[in-house]
Structure 1
Amino acid sequence: MTKLASAQYCISILESLAPKRYAYDGDPIGLQVGSLHKKTAKIMIALDVLEEVVDEAIENHVDLIIAHHPFIYVPLKRIDTSTAKGRTIQKLLQHEITVYAAHTNLDVAKGGVNDWLADALQLENRDILQQTRSEELMKLAVFVPITHAENVREALGNSGAGHIGQYSHCSFSTEGTGTFKPLEGSTPFIGNKGKLEKVKEVKMETILPTALQNKAVTAMIKAHPYEEVAYDLYPLKNSGEPLGIGRIGLLPKPMDLEELSQYVKQTFGLQAVRAVKGHNRMISKVAVVGGDGNKFISAALAKGADVLISGDIYYHNAHDAQESGLSIIDAGHNIEKIMKSGLKELFETELKKDHYTTEVILSNIHTDPFTFL
C-alpha cells in the first residue's frame, strides 16, 4: 500500500537533526523554490543544485530536492531563462520540484556534515573545533496514570529526551491525584461521561533539547493512554550541549603528511589534494572542517591540531598557517558530498518508522567544478 509523506513531514525530519536556528546569520537556508504543501513520492539528496542535477531529478520523477549548498545564495534581480540559473528555475517550476537547502545548520548539527567527515576519518576523542552556540533546553512535564508511567517514560527516553551528559532516560516523578470530568463527545480511557473522576497519577518531568520538542511530544502522546494528554513545556536557562563548526580529534594511528594525504584521498575518493607542510613531526591530532576552512586556522592552532583538513585555503592564509607550525590538507569543498549518504540514511530510517513509502535517492551528478590535468 502506498503511503506518501508530505514535504513538510520530510523537512521536519531534516530539522530534527539541523534546526534552522543553528544556521549562521544571513545564510539563505530553507525553502528555495516550490512548495512544501504537497505529497512527496521521491526525494533526491544533492550537494549542489545545478541544471544537470535538476535534469537528473526530472528524469527520476523527483518531487523534492534537499541540497546542502543553497541554490539561490545571492538574491536574484531577474529570472532570465536564457541563462543556466533561469532555465533551472523554469524547469523546477514546470515539473513542480521543490528545492530546500540545509547549509550551515547542517554543518553545526551534532551528527551532521562535520561529524560525518570525522567519522570517515575515524577520528577519536572528538570535540568541536569552534563553538557557535549552546543547545537550547526545555523542561517537559506530563501527567500519566500510574499504570502507564513506565511506557511513557521509556518512549520519552527513546525519543532523545532525558539525556544529560553521558546519561540517558533521566526523569523525576511525583505521585498525586488527577481529576477530570468527561463531557459529551469524549471517549475516556478511564471514567464515565458527566462524572468527576479521581485517578492516581504520576507527574513525570524530563529535560530535552528544543530541537527535539516535536519528536518527544509525538512519542509521549503515542505512548499515553488518555484521549487528551495534559502536559507542560517551558524553556530553561540551563546551558545545553555546545554546538559549532568543525571537529577535532585523534587519528587511529600517527601518520606523516604524505601518508595522511593519501589516506584523505582514499577516504573521500579524490584525485589529488593540496598540502602545506607546517612541521616535520608525525600527525596525530586532526581538525576537519567541511567547505571553506580559511576562518578556522586560528581555531585549529588554539586547539593544538597538527593539521587542518578543509577546502578552499587561500595562498596567503596557507603561508600564515605554515609559519605558525600548522600543516594543511586542502581536500576541496566537494568533500561535503558526504552529506548525501548521511541524509539518505536519516530519511530512510525515519520514514520507515511511520511506514511511509516515500523513496530517497542520491544525485549521481559530479558537481565539483575543478579537475586535475
Structure 2
Amino acid sequence: MSVKLSDVIRSIETVAPKNLAEDWDNVGLQVGASKQVIERILITLDVTVDVVAEAVDKKADLIIAHHPFIFNGLKTLSADYQKGQIITQLIKNDIALYVAHTNLDKAENGLNDYLAHLLGLKSIQTLDPSDPKSYFKLVVYAPAEATDKIIDVFGKNGAGSIGDYDYCTYRSSGIGTFRPLQGANPFIGEVDAITSVDEDRIEAIVPEELLKQLILQLKKNHPYEEMAYDIIPLENGKFINQNGLGKIGRLENPLKSQDFIDHVKKILNLPSLRGAGVIPETIRRVALCSGSGADMIGLAKAKKADVLITGDLKHHDGQRALENNFWVLDAGHFGTEKCVAECFKAIIKAGLKENCPEMIIAEASKDFIINY
C-alpha cells in the first residue's frame, strides 16, 4: 500500500501536533518532500549510519525517528563527517526523514501514555500538564445530500476526536435561505432569486492547530460557491487536556518492591535497573517519564507516587530522591523510549487504517550505553 508522505505526517500530527514540542526542539519533516509517495517505513529511536544503511537495504522510503537528527543549523554536509554521510545517503536513496520528539512525549496517547499502558497502569493522568489546548466548535451548513461527505472531511482532518472515539459529529436539519447576487455562480438557485433549501447543520469539536487546514479542506469539498460556517470558541480544553510531560497511574494490584522491579524488567525487556532513594514496601501508585525525567522527582512525590520510573539518573538525582524519602528507578533513556517504535506504528495504523504502508522496526536501533 502506498500513501503520500503528507498523509503519514497528518496521522502523526493529529495525535502529536508540532506546537506541543518544546521551544528548543526540532520536529517535523527534516529530509524529503511531503508529496513523496511512501510504501515502506523504517521506525527508529535514533538516526545513525547503521539505521540508514538498514533503510537502504530494506528499501524504505521513509525513516520516522523520535530523536531529532538535525537540532541546529548545519555548517557542512561534507561526507567526511557522519551527519554529512547520513544526509547524503538519505538524499541519494530518496529516503525522507520525519521526527516527532517532545511533541510525542507530551501528547495525550503519545509515548508516555503508551509506556504507562505497557506497564499496566490504570486511571492514567498527566504528571505535569501543559497549558490546555484551545478547542473550537466548527459548524458547517450544507445541503442534506452533501452531509456524509462533509462528515468524512471532518473525520479525516482530525475533527470530532474525543478520547477513544473519532468522527464525533452532530447534525440537525433545517431550511437555509440565500439570494445569489450578480456575478455569483450558484450551485443551487438563480441569480437575484431568493432560494430556500433543505440543509443540515453539521458540527464537531476541533483543536485550534487543526482548524485552518480543516476549513481549507471543507471549502474544497463543499458544493456551495460560498460555504457558510461558524467558529465557536470552547472552554473544554481546561477540562479535557491531558497533554504534558510524564504520566501517573495505579497498578490494578499492589506489588512488593522486588516484584515490581521484576515486572518492569520483564515488560521493558531489561536485564537490570538502577535505583536510588528509599524503597517502599509496596508499590501501588506509579509515576513515569520516558527519557530524562529525574527533575520530576519532587512532583512525583507531591502527587503521592510510590516510585518514579525514568532514565538518565545522575548522582545528585539520587541524592535528591534520598532527601525526599522517595524511590526512583532508572530504566535507561533507551530502555524507557525503545517502545516508541510500536507507539508510532499504533498511531499511524489508527490514522491511515486500511491505507497503511508497510512499517518495520529498525533492528539497528541500539542503546548507545553498554554495561561491561
TM-score range, shorter chain: 0.7 to 0.9
Where 1:81 maps in the other structure, the secondary structure is: coil
- Which residue of structure 1 aligns with residue 256 of structure 2? 256
Change in Cα spacing, 1:140 to 1:265, as seen in structure 2 (3 Å) is same
Q: Distance in 2 between matches of 1:4 and 1:228?
A: 33
Change (3 A) 1:231 1:282: farther
TM-superposed CA distance for 1:298, in Å, is 1.7
Q: State the Cα deviation string for residues 270-315 of structure 1 (Å, max 9, x = none).
A: 1211022424331111001110012211211121111000100111
If the length of structure 2 is used for normalisation, what is the TM-score? 0.85
Name the counterpart of 2:117. Answer: 119
Instruction: Give, in angstroms, the shift of residue 156 of structure 1.
Output: 5.0
Structure 2 counterpart of 1:265, which letter? K
2:7 is aligned, of 9, 12, 15, to 9
TM-score for both structures, normalised by structure 1: 0.85
Q: Is the 8 A contact 1:250 1:284 kept in 2?
A: yes
- Deviation at residue 226 of structure 1 after TM alignment: 3.4
The equivalent of 2:85 in structure 1 is 87
Deviation for aligned residue 1:252: 1.8
Within 1, Cα distance between the matches of 2:255 and 2:82? 44
Partner of 2:363: 364
* d(CA) in 2 for partners of 1:308, 1:12: 33
**Structure 2 counterparts to residues 2-151 of structure 1, below 5 A:** 4-145=2-143
Cα distance in 2 between the residues matched to 1:8 and 1:149: 26
Partners of 2:146 and 2:223 within 8 A in 1: no
Residue 367 of structure 1, CA deviation: 1.8
> Could you say what secondary structure the match of 1:48 adopts?
coil
Tell me, in whole angstroms, the C-alpha distance in 1 between the residues paired with 2:358 and 2:161: 32
1:56 CA displacement: 0.3
Distance 1:160 1:86 in 2: 37
Shift in CA distance, 153/134, structure 1 to aligned 2, threshold 3 Å: same
Shift of 1:34: 3.2
Larger mean Cα displacement after TM superposition, 118-127 or 273-282: 273-282
Q: CA RMSD in A?
A: 3.4
* Cross-structure match for 1:236: 233
Greater shift in the superposed pair: 174-183 or 136-145: 174-183
Cα distance, 1:143 vs structure 2: 0.7
The answer to whether the Cα contact below 8 Å between 2:40 and 2:61 also exists between their aligned partners in 1 is yes
The gaps in structure 1 that reach 5 residues or longer are none
The one-letter code matched in structure 2 to 1:64 is: L
**Cα distance in 2 between the residues matched to 1:228 and 1:364:** 52
- Over 3 Å counting, the alpha-carbon distance change for 1:163 and 1:327 in structure 2 is same
176-185 or 142-151, larger mean C-alpha shift? 176-185
Distance 1:43 1:165 in 2: 27
Task: Please say if residues 277 and 327 of structure 2, whose CA atoms lie closer than 8 Å, have aligned partners that are also in contact.
Answer: yes
1:311 corresponding residue in structure 2: 311
Aligned partners of 1:211, 1:261: CA distance in 2, in Å? 40
Q: 1:42/1:153 Cα in 2 relative to 1: closer, same or farther (>3 Å)?
A: closer
Alignment of 1:206-221 (within 5 A): 206-213=204-211
Q: Structure 1 residues 84 and 245 mapped into 2: Cα distance closer, same or farther (>3 Å)?
A: same
Distance 1:184 1:60, change over 3 A: farther
Letter of the aligned partner of 1:359 in structure 2? Answer: E
Aligned pair 1:288/2:285, yes or no?
Answer: no
For residues 122 and 315 of structure 2, what CA distance do their matches in structure 1 show? 30
Report the Cα distance in structure 2 between the residues aligned to 1:71 and 1:369, rounded to whole angstroms: 15
Deviates more, 1:306-315 or 1:23-32: 23-32
* Correspondence for 1:341: 342
Instruction: Answer yes or no: is 1:269 the counterpart of 2:269.
Output: yes
**How much has 1:365 moved relative to structure 2?**
1.6
Unpaired runs of 5+ residues, structure 2, are none
Against the structure 1 CA distance between its residues 155 and 89, is the aligned structure 2 distance closer, same or farther, given a 3 Å change threshold?
closer
Residues 257 and 215 (structure 1), Cα distance of their counterparts in 2 relative to 1, 3 Å cut: farther
1:254 CA drift (Å): 1.2
Deviations 1:96-149 (A, max 9, x none): 212111100001111110000001011111110001221121220111335666
Q: Is the 8 A contact 2:345 2:359 kept in 1?
A: yes
